[in-house]
Structure 1
Amino acid sequence: MKVLIIGGGGVVGQKLAQQLARRGTLRGDNISGLVLADVVDPAPVDAPFDVETVTCDIANAASVAQIVTADVDVIYLLAAIVSAHAEEDFDAGWQINMMGTMNVLERARALETKPVVVFTSSIAVFGGEVPDPIVDHTLLNPQTSYGAQKAVGELLINDYSRKGFVDGRGFRLPTISVRPGKPNRAASSFMSSILREPLNGEEAICPVDDDFLHYYLSPRKCVENLIKGAEIPEQDLGMNRCMMMPGRMWSIRELVDAMTAVAGPEPARLIRWEAQPDIQKIVNGWRFDLRPEKAIKLGLEADDSFEDNIRYYIEDDKPGA
């Protein structure tokens, strides 16, 4: 069993690689090799099997051909430029997020090996004049370029799977929080930074009101779900291979209260509340009443509480922990 993680240098890609190294198996087989690919050389992970790190530009078909080889059994397609970046740079968003997905699928089709492809989509595919609640078969109606690019990716995953070129499955990720590291260019980046930085003793800015509701999942649960998602039997996926990954709805105030319950009152005092209309415009276009029934039936899970998300960050990622 050889596994390829495209986007293997990112937070989720690295955590996924580490968990696969601990497990040693996927889809009932021993993992014999793991390739971590990203636009910059990913950090290696220690594993009881061969691990290779490579650079790849998924917008370049020739670069994709170097990493998607006939011996790859499972491809995790995690690479993307994130929401605010894709909105600012229209051309780069479509080249990387849409054409990059097409390049990976086209390479798999040419090889005729039908790998499992696990594609990470986004809840940004929903929006606009779509009634609540949002269920697995609600019309995709993205209100950002990033959401539109992910929606096209979902259609490609479904069609290439229908034709038998790949065994695809796509999961619309909730906002992953609390993410380690530095803020990125995602519009949702503040949903980690307002917790991560205060937990690390640093000031953070919250650009929305404390009653802002959103849909969250911890990095730990996200990785568990991506592994379960790869292991779902093809026949159980049905005629729509793409679904919401389970998460839970919480307000910003509930996130801060959870941090206070776990870490005491001091971190919350480091949050500055400053409205940022450009961020508010993007996140207000995302829809909130999400019902991930299909994924739950297939065994994927949400966090029990946001206090768990805080604890996971302290246990797994807080500097010096």
Structure 2
Amino acid sequence: MNILIIGGGGVVGQKLAQALVKSGMLRGQAITRITLADVVDPAPVAAPFEIRTMICDIADPASVAECVSKDTDVIYLLAAIVSAHAEEDFDAGMKINLFGTYNVLERCRALGTSPVVVFTSSIAVYGGEAQDPLGDHSFPNPQTSYGMQKAAGELFINDYSRKGFIDGRAFRLPTISVRPGKPNRAASSFMSSILREPLNGQEAVCPVDADFLHYYLSPRRCVDNLIKGAELAGDDIGQNRVMQMPGTSLSIKQLIDAMTAVAGPEPAKLIRWDAQPDIKKIVSGWRWDIHADKAERLGLKADDSFEDNIRYYLEDDKPAA
């Protein structure tokens, strides 16, 4: 079993690789190689089998051809530029999020091997006049360029699967929190930083009101679901290869209350409330009444509570003092 993780240098890609190494199996077969590919050479992961790292620019078909080989069995297509970046730089978003996805799928078609392709979409595909509750069969009506690009990627996954070019499945990810590392250009970045930085003894800024609702999932559970998602049989998924990954809808206040329940009252005192109209404009178009009936029926899961999200960060990612 040879696995390629495109976006293997990112938080989810690295955690996914580590989880796959720990398991040693995918789709009932022993893993013999994992290739981590990203626009910057990814950090290697220790394993008892072959680990490759390589630079891959999915906007460049030649680079993709070097990355996706005939013996690749499973491709995790995680690479993307994030929401605020795609909104600021339309050309970059199109090259990477739209045509990058196309380039990977076209390479699969040219090889004729029909690999399993796991594509990470986003709840940013929802919005506008789509009616609540939202879920697997809701009409995508994104209100950002990033959401549009992800919605187009979903259509690619469905059609390339229908034609037999790939065995695809696409998951609309909730916002992943609490993410380790530093804030990035995602409009949702504050949904981790307002917890991560205070847990690390640093000040953080919250740009929205305490009653702002959103849909969340921990990195640990996201990785579990991505592994489960790759193992699903195509016939069980059905004609629509796109589904909502389970999450939980919570307010900012509920996130902070969960942090306080686990870590005590001091971290919350480090949150500074400072409205940021540019961020609020983007996130106000996002929706939160989301249901993941199909994925849950197929065995994917949400976190039991956001207190678990806090505990996972403290166990897995908090920097040593």
- RMSD between superposed Cα atoms in Å: 0.6
CA distance in 2, matches of 1:26, 1:52: 17
Corresponding residue of 1:106: 106
Unaligned runs of 5+ in 2: none
Q: What per-residue deviation string (whole Å, max 9, x for no partner) do you get for residues 74-109 of structure 1?
A: 000000000000000000000000000000000000
CA distance in 2, matches of 1:29, 1:284: 44
SS in 2 for 1:43: coil
| Post-superposition offset of 1:135 | 2.2
Unaligned runs of 5+ in 1: none
Corresponding residue of 1:231: 231
SS in 1 for 2:154: helix
Corresponding residue of 2:281: 281
Corresponding residue of 2:145: 145
Corresponding residue of 1:259: 259
> Percent identity of the aligned residues?
75
SS in 2 for 1:160: helix
Corresponding residue of 1:220: 220
Q: What per-residue deviation string (whole Å, max 9, x for no partner) do you get for residues 2-36 of structure 1?
A: 00000000000000000001000000000000000
| Aligned positions of 1:23-42 closer than 5 A | 23-42=23-42
CA distance in 1, matches of 2:37, 2:135: 33
Structure 2 residue identity aligned to 1:53: T
Structure 2 residue identity aligned to 1:73: D
TM-score, normalised to structure 1, is 1.00
TM-score, normalised to structure 2, is 1.00
CA distance in 1, matches of 2:233, 2:320: 40
Corresponding residue of 2:162: 162
1:60 aligns with 2:82: no
Q: What per-residue deviation string (whole Å, max 9, x for no partner) do you get for residues 270-295 of structure 1?
A: 00000000000000001110011000
| Post-superposition offset of 1:48 | 1.3
CA distance in 2, matches of 1:206, 1:16: 29
Structure 1 residue identity aligned to 2:85: H
Corresponding residue of 1:136: 136
| Post-superposition offset of 1:320 | 1.1
Corresponding residue of 1:192: 192
Corresponding residue of 2:127: 127
Structure 1 residue identity aligned to 2:100: G
Corresponding residue of 2:202: 202
Structure 2 residue identity aligned to 1:205: V
CA distance in 2, matches of 1:287, 1:252: 14
CA distance in 1, matches of 2:30, 2:298: 23
Structure 2 residue identity aligned to 1:307: E
Aligned residues: 321
CA distance in 1, matches of 2:275, 2:304: 30
Structure 2 residue identity aligned to 1:221: R
| Post-superposition offset of 1:131 | 1.1
CA distance in 1, matches of 2:280, 2:242: 27
CA distance in 2, matches of 1:221, 1:119: 16
Corresponding residue of 1:301: 301
CA distance in 2, matches of 1:265, 1:287: 30
| Post-superposition offset of 1:136 | 1.0
Structure 2 residue identity aligned to 1:46: A
Q: What per-residue deviation string (whole Å, max 9, x for no partner) do you get for residues 143-197 of structure 1?
A: 0000000000000000000000000000000000000000000000000000000
CA distance in 2, matches of 1:248, 1:297: 16
